[in-house]
Structure 1
Amino acid sequence: MPNRGALFRVEGGGHVAWLFGTIHVGARDFYPLEPRLMAALREATVLALEVDPTGSQNDIARAVREHGMYQNGRGPASAELPAPYRPRLDRLLRRYEIGPQSVALMKPWMIASLLTVREFEAQGYQAELAVDAWLAQQAHGRGQKVIELESVQGQMALFGRMPLADQALFLQECIDAIEDKEQAGDAREIARAWATADQAALDRIAAKTAADTTYSGRFVSQVLLAGRNPALAARIAALLKSERRSVAAIGVLHLVGAGSVPELLRARGLLVERVY
């Protein structure tokens, strides 16, 4: 099998952690993953993920209700949009065969996330085949310990804390990107770069993300990546200290670019080697 994503070997105190970069969608031909990573997974005493997508569905549903849905009868999200965007949103919902009732209580950021997933699906990638989900299934199937570096509550709160006006702008920019074919191009680019472990392409994507001055671009760069990297690095360092052999799998964009998790681990005095 070819190399996928990005893989780092982290060593400290005689312990080894393998750090693997994932994407949150997938395709059947992604699997199984390449032999070195599969061997590392078999030898590990624990698999660490951002969150375990196969974990408590009640916890996931609770986080969705709390952070992704309107409370007290407010909504729909289209009411937050400027009038010209409302029919454009309706057209996209029809394109992806999303019924109006299924999004009636969703906040704008949640609809934007749903549209993004559907655009990945239109390019041939599926959320149910996501790399982190596949890894979790493999680990649980072996009876291996799976831990979470974050929580679904914490992740969704990052979006849910956005003021509604900013959420509306986030959705507007998502609509623009899909209609301009930018979203489709970005989906193909990140999936291809991950599927071929293309270091140069991943670096270009990281640089493009960091330079994006749109609201959604700054949110991704500053909140979803730079804002989370220090805590992720700290938890991976703690994992390395407590476990002789471990694998941590997090989104690949956390592993590239300025202020990346490998860079932060090196700053802690750990030996970090990029394998691919």
Structure 2
Amino acid sequence: MRRSIIVVFLSFFLLAAQAFAAERGALFKVSGNGHVLHLYGTIHVGRPDYYPLEPRIRQALAAAPTLALEIDARRDPAAIAEAFRLHGMFQAGSPGAASLQPERRQRIEAALKKQGLDPGAVAQFKPWVLVTMLAVIDATKLGYSPALGVDDHLSQLAQANKARKTRVAELETMHYQAGLLNRLPDEAQWRLLEETLENMESGQQLRETRELFEAYERADQKALDAIARRIEDDDTLTGKTTRELLLDERNGPMADKVAALLARENNTVVAVGLLHLLGKGGLPELLRKRGIRVERVY
């Protein structure tokens, strides 16, 4: 009898924990053409305690004919590898870091070593790839793992949804994303890497990464609005690249695709990086400008 009571209590506790899973990121309800779409802001890393996701997003995904992600990393690993080969690596015959003045190259290599990267092992990678690797290093320092990314978790849930047979669609491709970053001239990429290393040395990058993740974890609208304003006002190379290349240039085409999904079918879930939903140039505001109703759930 005592064991039965314990089992019942534990079952109740687990169900309650799932029911009260924390709101994280940002969730919007988008309406138009007699259809509803859920727009969810994610981060591309995660922790075990992020899961299960809160009930509203789980229920929305369970009813969704389509889950639209920026890219689906599970779809074609070979295509991802090819995109990095074409856009993220110096081609044969390119001098790479050897094109830099010796003092500058030595300074960059010393800073890379300090952050745990072996300059010789990463010499074939373009500077923009090193910048992304350094961002992952900072996320790992804070206890987050790319293997537990929210987007990937949603993809797994969609593929496991046998009853609904939820389709996983991509708003972009890895070739597009990698090509966009590689469009920066080599000199701008080296300066971006140097600025990133300086921000890591000062602790600024880790501090701003922590602020974003904590705002995500609390679904803190005030903190997220402050982050959006900081990005809008940041005139460093890192700030301009984030604002103009990684957000503004992508958000318009992304909004067009979200609007097309809303027109075509009901109950779609669109999950993209949280920064794409913030500020005057974010997807919610761009969709409103298209005459589409957008309500913030949290």
TM-score in terms of structure 1 length: 0.95
Pick from 129, 139, 145 the counterpart of residue 167 of structure 2.
145
Match of 1:29 in 2: 49
Pick from 198, 214, 224 the counterpart of residue 202 of structure 1.
224
Matches of 2:100 and 2:240, distance apart in 1: 20
Residues 220/178 of structure 1: CA separation in 2 closer, same or farther (3 Å cut): same
Q: Counterparts in 2 of 1:84-233, with a 5 A limit?
A: 85-142=104-161, 143-233=165-255
Pick from 261, 265, 277 the counterpart of residue 255 of structure 1.
277
Residues 138/82 of structure 1: CA separation in 2 closer, same or farther (3 Å cut): farther
Deviations 1:181-226 (A, max 9, x none): 0011011111000011000111111110111111121011011111
1:66 is the counterpart of 2:86:
yes
Percent identity, aligned pairs only, is 44
Matches of 1:82 and 1:187, distance apart in 2: 31
Residues 96/178 of structure 1: CA separation in 2 closer, same or farther (3 Å cut): closer
Letter in 2 for 1:59: A
Match of 2:261 in 1: 239
Match of 2:38 in 1: 18
Give yes or no for contact 1:80–1:168 (8 Å, CA) kept in 2: no
Give yes or no for contact 2:112–2:197 (8 Å, CA) kept in 1: no
What is the SS of the residue equivalent to 2:272? strand
What is the SS of the residue equivalent to 1:146? strand
Match of 2:17 in 1: none
Per-residue deviation at 1:33?
A: 1.0
Per-residue deviation at 1:100?
A: 3.5
Per-residue deviation at 1:87?
A: 4.2
Per-residue deviation at 1:264?
A: 1.1
Instruction: Name which one, 1 or 2, has greater alpha-carbon Rg.
Output: 2
What is the SS of the residue equivalent to 2:92? coil
Deviations 1:106-127 (A, max 9, x none): 0111111111111111111111
Letter in 2 for 1:49: L
Per-residue deviation at 1:101?
A: 4.1
Provide the aligned length of Structure 1 versus Structure 2.
275
What is the SS of the residue equivalent to 1:259? coil
What is the SS of the residue equivalent to 1:227? helix
Matches of 1:116 and 1:21, distance apart in 2: 19
What is the SS of the residue equivalent to 1:150? coil
Deviations 1:115-158 (A, max 9, x none): 11111111111111111111111111224210001111111111
Matches of 2:140 and 2:81, distance apart in 1: 22
TM-score in terms of structure 2 length: 0.88
Matches of 2:183 and 2:160, distance apart in 1: 36
Give yes or no for contact 1:51–1:149 (8 Å, CA) kept in 2: yes
Letter in 1 for 2:199: A
What is the SS of the residue equivalent to 1:169? helix
Matches of 2:216 and 2:87, distance apart in 1: 29
Matches of 1:117 and 1:27, distance apart in 2: 14
Per-residue deviation at 1:179?
A: 0.3
1:51 is the counterpart of 2:71:
yes
Give yes or no for contact 1:16–1:244 (8 Å, CA) kept in 2: yes
Deviations 1:152-187 (A, max 9, x none): 111111111110000001101100010000011011
Matches of 2:69 and 2:255, distance apart in 1: 12
